[in-house]
Structure 1
Amino acid sequence: MRHRSTVVGGALAACLLLTVPASAATPTPGSAGIGDPYLPDSGNGGYDVSHYDLRLQYRPRTDRLDGTATLLATATQDLSRFDLDFVLDVQEVLVDGKRAAFAKAGAHELQVTPRTPLSKGRPFTVVVRYGDVPSEKKVDGHSAWSRTPDGAVVAGEPAAAAWWFPSNDHPRDKATYDISVAVPEGLQTVSNGILSSRSTQRGWTRYTWRSTKPQATYLATLAVGKFEIAQGTTSNGLPVINAYSKDLGDGLAPAKASIERTGEVIDWASTLFGPYPFEAAGGYVPNLPGRGALETQTRPVYASGTFQNGAFMEVVVHELAHQWFGDSVSVRNWRDTWLSEGFATYAEWLWSEKEGEGTARELADYAYASQPADDPFWKVRPADPGKDNPLHNAVYLRGAMALQALREKIGDSTFFTVLKEWQKQRRHGNATVEDFTRLAQDVSGKSLRRLFDTWLYTPGKPAQGPGAAGGKNGIAQAAQPVQPKSWKNLERARLSHRHRPELTGADRS
């Protein structure tokens, strides 16, 4: 019986060998870019990360960051090697608990070769141990890491992660996060999500922040310094955590007067866009010179000069609107930034409408009339602004005009149904401009191709303003409209958002 079993087993093995797919025999390296046409070196191919666990220690006096990053990932092809985006010095890499070969390639690529290839569909774990001085690392003369008088801040778009943890650095590869940071006692850390623990031992305080919803790498942020922490909730009980540098001086009051209304803005926006998509909310203002803001997930960052002229609700509305448009529903490619910036700008117009300082229609009409037909502004197509212009003014303003034109065409009820359905269908995912235009047509039951071609794809000033899309209810465009009361602050908010915090850091060189 044993001999017969062996023969049958051998025959079966031979049969199985004949049916092994040829593709499984030749693992290949993952690509050094994820395939974004605007940023071909951004992200990496061959795997998908589901979770980052970061255990860090930071010494402000020397700007030294030491860390261990653990990545949970799954191979999306048969992998012989894969890349991580990272600029700091690496001491050791483990793949599934075994030491792996690694090497730097170019300015921000870390190539990792596991001892044995990784088969498609296989989950694997990567541990990277590292230590370096982030502010000294430049890519094309740029660093997303900024030192402050009492610590540091890291935030930036389209890339910031590479200065503090190894990652697949592109919005397509979202993950959850645990970020644990030890700092000298007396300092605080601010990051995304909820503060899950804090403990002090031997002169060090460790803060652990947890983000349980998918998050793009550029939306991860970290600040170290002396902060005043304010905690509260929205009307639905959502935790709101705000933090203010203790060195803001006269800027503290206007910063608080704006950011402490975060819960109010979220309650309002939820009625227009659908349920708030994350586990916490808030904002923070580090001692970072200059003006600028960024929609870092659950906790937007505002440079200290953002509120130098007083309370500034428009920029807060803009960054909080991004929690739906840009953070929850993220771009698939960086050319799709209209889905983020056009919508956040339009949210400001909706807030102005709510506050009685100018309706969205009046603001769209004024924006249209304010830009001469021969202005280069009209040459930029919001749906594909070009790799040198992903955050061009036209993506914001002409992009918001496009949404007003859509609202006029399909009516308020259908328009806001489209926005809510967009969030429902694409929650925690990625999308393209084409995905949105297709949804708008499906929900409205109207042909919208000409409207979107005119406002998003065709260079040149449209013959009629956005209000004209409403037919007999449209706005005549012949006369120069009166400037709405909110216009100056809305322009200020747009400029603040376009000037990212990392571009004005104290350590710029």
Structure 2
Amino acid sequence: MRKRVIASATAVLGLLLAIPASAAGAGPGAPGIGDPYYPTYGNGGYDVSHYDLDLAYQPATDTLTGTTTLTATATQGLTSFDLDFALDVSKVTVDGRPARFASSGEQELVVTPARPVARGHRITVAVTYSGVPSKVQRYGFTSWQRTPDGGVAANEPESAWWWFPSNDHPADKATYDVTVRVPAGDQAISNGLLVSQRTEDGWTGFHWRQDDPQATYLATLAVGHFALTHSATRAGVPVINAYSTDLPAATAANARASVERTGEIIDFLSTWFGPYPFDAAGGYVPNVTSGFSLEAQTRVFYSPRFYATAPNTGVVAHELAHQWWGDDVSLERWSDIWLNEGFASYAEWLWAEHEHTGTPQQLAQQVYDAHPADDPFWTVKPGDPGPQNQFDDAVYDRGAVAIQALRDTIGDRDFRALLKAWPAAHRYGNGTIAQFEGLAERLSGRDLDGFFQTWLYTAAKPASFPAGS
């Protein structure tokens, strides 16, 4: 009896010694990354460095199947961790060992590895799944858009849940390999460069690679019939554009007249924002009914509604400006949305001046004059609009007026330096409005607290425009 007790104690001691100290105090990772606007979005306890998607999609039934493999580093000891995902999961492994998994809430996939994960350990998580994305709703909607010949994943602030498991928040950026097999004759469009295309047994596999860090909501996928074009920027960056072959003829012509100017617009914006940050560029126009466009990294999603009646290069300038403001430098929290939308909207005004259709000063004055002091437009604070107003017109238009006011305040030389310094300082990372204000103050030598308080954080019309007039 005594020997058996001693033997058991020895075995327990050996087990404890076999567990790394950082795993011995392990616990579950948080089910959210800590964003006040979206408490359940993203996850805590790990940082993803790479996503490898190996998928098959059948347009006839809108069925998506496959496996996504995540490479991540544990930032704490983990007994379990969450992924954001909405399709049906059949298998999960962690470092090659089967793991338990369960769905929780609207989009949480809780993974429990066979053994605790030590802090600092690099883990490989493989999730096998299937589903019909267009039939899956979370929070009352789906971010998967069905088309007559396939489907599209594009939305903000969430779209990944409908096609790959992820740590779905811009604060955790990663690189990507996306391989999608579709019936021969169809095409699969995604971010970055096309590494390979191979047809076998009636299926064609398209392998796309994004080598630079990318936020999850900026990952996109489109399957259907597309006409592709190839060109390059002046710096030699390859531009790949794609147009659905079943768009109305006039819409398709207007879209081509606009999107085919991508290289030219990138060259122009580079004079304001610095070198284009990625090794690929372009966009696609699928046959969808939605009325928005999205700055998907290196491969912008454009709704055909922007081209229904005429060419529209303004929206192209807006989305391409996001490649610097939102994609290269991503927001740290969704309350920093002004850094994305205000500057992309201002880029439209810079492009308008280039096209001789109005100067930023004139266009900003028009917005300021168009909204009287009692207009609800001024009650939205661009620097903290709240999740319900995150994509309100005021974030875009009042936000762009604020940028022109900043230009008036610090002068053209310092303003131009600021627009290049911000992407250079935060290349492939994240940034906050507070950090932007600090950079503006350092470059201009001015105290700008009062300026930013008035233009970004006060729910009232600024008393004068231009600033200081």
Deviation at 1:120, TM superposition (A): 0.9
- What is the CA–CA distance in structure 1 between the aligned matches of 2:289 and 2:162, rounded to whole Å? 20
8 A Cα contact 1:29 1:82, kept in partner: yes
8 A Cα contact 2:441 2:448, kept in partner: yes
The letter for the 2-side match of 1:173 is D
- What is the CA–CA distance in structure 2 between the aligned matches of 1:319 and 1:303, rounded to whole Å? 12
Superposed CA deviations along residues 125-180 of structure 1, whole A, max 9, x for unmatched, are 00111111111110022001111111111101000000000000000000000000
Deviation at 1:115, TM superposition (A): 0.8
Deviation at 1:272, TM superposition (A): 0.4
Q: Which position in structure 2 is the counterpart of 1:170?
A: 169
Deviation at 1:381, TM superposition (A): 0.9
Superposed CA deviations along residues 337-368 of structure 1, whole A, max 9, x for unmatched, are 00000000000111111222111111111110
Q: Which position in structure 1 is the counterpart of 2:235?
A: 236
**Could you list the runs of 5+ residues in structure 2 that have no partner in the other structure?**
1-12
After superposition, the CA RMSD in angstroms is 1.5
Deviation at 1:229, TM superposition (A): 0.4
The letter for the 2-side match of 1:302 is Y
Q: Which position in structure 1 is the counterpart of 2:314?
A: 314
Q: Which position in structure 1 is the counterpart of 2:133?
A: 134
8 A Cα contact 2:187 2:224, kept in partner: yes
Superposed CA deviations along residues 6-54 of structure 1, whole A, max 9, x for unmatched, are xxxxxxx99xx8xx97x65321100000000000010000000000000
- What is the CA–CA distance in structure 2 between the aligned matches of 1:289 and 1:405, rounded to whole Å? 36
- What is the CA–CA distance in structure 2 between the aligned matches of 1:387 and 1:101, rounded to whole Å? 34
The letter for the 2-side match of 1:447 is D
The change in CA–CA distance for 1:95 and 1:272 in structure 2 (over 3 A counts) is same
Deviation at 1:88, TM superposition (A): 0.5
Q: TM-score, normalised by structure 1?
A: 0.87
Q: Which position in structure 2 is the counterpart of 1:39?
A: 38
Deviation at 1:376, TM superposition (A): 0.9
Give the paired residue count: 453
**Could you list the runs of 5+ residues in structure 1 that have no partner in the other structure?**
1-12, 475-509
- What is the CA–CA distance in structure 2 between the aligned matches of 1:103 and 1:163, rounded to whole Å? 17
Q: Which position in structure 1 is the counterpart of 2:286?
A: 286
Q: How does 1:73-88 map to 2 (within 5 A)?
A: 73-88=72-87
The letter for the 1-side match of 2:141 is H
8 A Cα contact 1:63 1:135, kept in partner: yes
8 A Cα contact 2:227 2:243, kept in partner: yes
1:415 aligns with 2:415: yes
- What is the CA–CA distance in structure 1 between the aligned matches of 2:364 and 2:105, rounded to whole Å? 45
The letter for the 2-side match of 1:215 is Q
Q: How does 1:101-500 map to 2 (within 5 A)?
A: 101-249=100-248, 250-465=250-465, 467-469=466-468
- What is the CA–CA distance in structure 2 between the aligned matches of 1:410 and 1:460, rounded to whole Å? 22
Give SS of 2:387's match: coil
8 A Cα contact 1:32 1:41, kept in partner: yes
- What is the CA–CA distance in structure 2 between the aligned matches of 1:61 and 1:40, rounded to whole Å? 36
The change in CA–CA distance for 1:60 and 1:24 in structure 2 (over 3 A counts) is closer
8 A Cα contact 1:325 1:343, kept in partner: yes
The letter for the 1-side match of 2:289 is P
- What is the CA–CA distance in structure 1 between the aligned matches of 2:446 and 2:139, rounded to whole Å? 47
Superposed CA deviations along residues 368-414 of structure 1, whole A, max 9, x for unmatched, are 01101001111111111112111111111111111111111111111
Deviation at 1:291, TM superposition (A): 2.5
Deviation at 1:62, TM superposition (A): 1.1
